[in-house]
């Protein structure tokens, strides 16, 4: 497989840096090709705005349509186009980041804000004008694996944990971004207790990462419900006979 | 009240810009004092990294402890200190942003990443060395209101909606950031269908915002469970007799 590894940590001499080095080496050893977007090393600009397109400042900026037009004209900012080239090449995406304030570091959030533009990752339609999203879309056919580290202990990010269950906390990226754009989203690898990890914990995290990367081509994705599978009604609400009486985020898994 | 309005939209000539102008005027008319952090206008840098502290590049950067030391020494980057000054002044915080990929725009995520440093908004302890967080903490005593716009229709962001219920999708900021840091978090104002809003929808959104701002000093916050209320055990897991059998994020509300 062709694997794009997106890395968002400011310090290569860190647990995250070590896991990235090992993970990319493991993929190469398994026969995959790897390219990286090391966002801190690249000095990635995460701020979506008028500079992404050739915007006439006399007109109010509507970023969605403006990026869609620029994309169609091949006129998006060169750093965005470079990421599109990598994504066109990739069969799988690994997103690695420390969990900051229960989400992605801004530099990675802004990779999605700027790269996942209208007409590319959202606002994509089929021949009948219906939106292609949630299980289908501009990035369909690709696999995605989130690898994140958290200072919190594992139970606090587990079911009924104080911080919220990790898969619910990550729902905006797992479901609302990666699955939205059509990717097959694997269960995330969440390395907890990262601030206090000694050699044994680091070795265990490394082994878990290797296991996940070995299974990258074959592991079952999270069973999120596709929008087109008949589960949702015309108001985009899950039909009552499915997961009756429940309102939690897990109803969006089959 | 002293209200800090944090605004994260690239275009002042937008629905968001109009709501910001009106909201800040309404607060002034009600007798409150208002300061703004208009992140795009300020050219806010959202990328947390070594430049936030006086970091010796020969040493691996550990951002948490490094920012904690710099904070204690008054040596954080000047733009971070300016935001701390505004927060010290503020009784309430309004965070206004368009919902991009089911979260904050990167420029706002990076406001939290850089401003909510260790020893200030997390890693704060009481006299007995216990963490002050989730209902107590460095920003205790302040109210927080999230105001966000989404292109999606309302039902899709409601209970069992395709995109996930808005309060669950916003859990990382509402619970995992604002409540974590000790604030009283009001129910968010979510303006849906924003991409297609005509004059009537815009007027309705403006009226809803005015209602929320009028109630800013008195509205009941979301009833998130405080960490110290006895609900969580020593593993930080919600005790079984509370919300028995459930694992959804709503168990973290009383």
Interval A26-33 mean pLDDT? 98
- Is A142 within 8 Å of A90 (Cβ atoms)? yes
Interval A136-145 mean pLDDT? 97
Residues 163-222 of A with CB under 8 A from B: 163-165, 168-169, 171-173, 175-177, 180, 195
B63 touches chain A (CB under 8 A): yes
Is CATH 3.50.50.60 what the domain over B2-222 is classified as, yes or no?
A: no
d(CA A103, CA A106): 9
- Tens of pLDDT, residue by residue over B183-224, are 999 999 999 999 899 999 999 999 999 999 999 999 999 999
Q: What is the homologous superfamily of the domain A2-221 according to CATH?
A: Flavodoxin domain (3.40.50.360)
d(CA A175, CA A182): 10
d(CA A74, CA B2): 47
Backbone angles phi, psi at A143, to 5 degrees: -100, 155
Count other Cβ atoms within 10 Å, centred on residue B243. Answer: 18
Residue A64's H or E segment, with its range, is helix A63-72
Interval A206-215 mean pLDDT? 98
Decide if A106 and B102 are in contact by the 8 Å CB cutoff: no
Distances (CA, A) of B167 to A169, A248, B199, B247: 12, 11, 27, 16
pTM, two decimal places: 0.98
Within chain B, all domains assigned CATH 3.40.50.360 are found at 2-222
Tell me the pLDDT of chain A averaged across its residues. Answer: 97
d(CA A146, CA A174): 8
- Is A160 within 8 Å of A153 (Cβ atoms)? no
- Tens of pLDDT, residue by residue over B117-164, are 999 999 999 999 999 999 999 999 999 999 999 999 999 999 999 999
ipTM: 0.98
Residues 65-124 of A with CB under 8 A from B: 100-107, 109-110, 112-113, 116
Q: Tell which of A136, A160, A236 to mutate to test the B interface (max B CBs under 10 Å).
A: A160
Q: CA of B171: which chain A residue's CA is closest? A: A169
Q: Tell which of A68, A133, A236 to mutate to test the B interface (max B CBs under 10 Å).
A: A236
Within chain A, all domains assigned CATH 3.40.50.360 are found at 2-221
């Amino acid at each position: 497989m062709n694997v794009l590894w997106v890395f968002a940590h400011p310090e290569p001499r860190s647990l995250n840096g070590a896991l990235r080095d090992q993970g990319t080496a493991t993929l190469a050893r398994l026969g995959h090709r790897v390219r990286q977007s090391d966002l801190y090393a690249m000095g990635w600009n995460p701020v979506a705005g008028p500079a992404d397109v050739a915007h006439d400042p006399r007109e109010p900026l509507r970023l969605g349509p403006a990026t869609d037009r620029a994309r169609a004209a091949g006129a998006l900012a060169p750093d965005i186009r470079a990421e599109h080239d990598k994504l066109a090449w990739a069969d799988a995406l690994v997103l690695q980041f420390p969990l900051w304030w229960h989400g992605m570091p801004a530099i990675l959030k802004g990779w999605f804000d700027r790269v996942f533009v209208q007409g590319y990752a959202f606002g994509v339609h089929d021949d009948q004008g219906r939106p292609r999203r949630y299980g289908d879309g501009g990035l369909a056919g690709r696999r995605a694996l989130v690898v994140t580290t958290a200072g919190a202990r594992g139970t606090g990010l587990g079911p009924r944990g104080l911080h919220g269950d990790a898969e619910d906390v990550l729902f905006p990226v797992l479901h609302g971004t990666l699955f939205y754009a059509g990717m097959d989203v694997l269960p995330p690898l969440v390395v907890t207790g990262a601030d206090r990890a000694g050699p044994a914990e680091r070795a265990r995290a490394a082994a878990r990462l290797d296991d996940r990367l070995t299974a990258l081509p074959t592991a079952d994705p999270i069973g999120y419900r596709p929008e087109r599978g008949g589960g949702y009604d015309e108001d985009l609400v899950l039909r009552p006979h499915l997961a009756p009486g429940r309102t939690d985020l897990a109803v969006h898994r089959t």
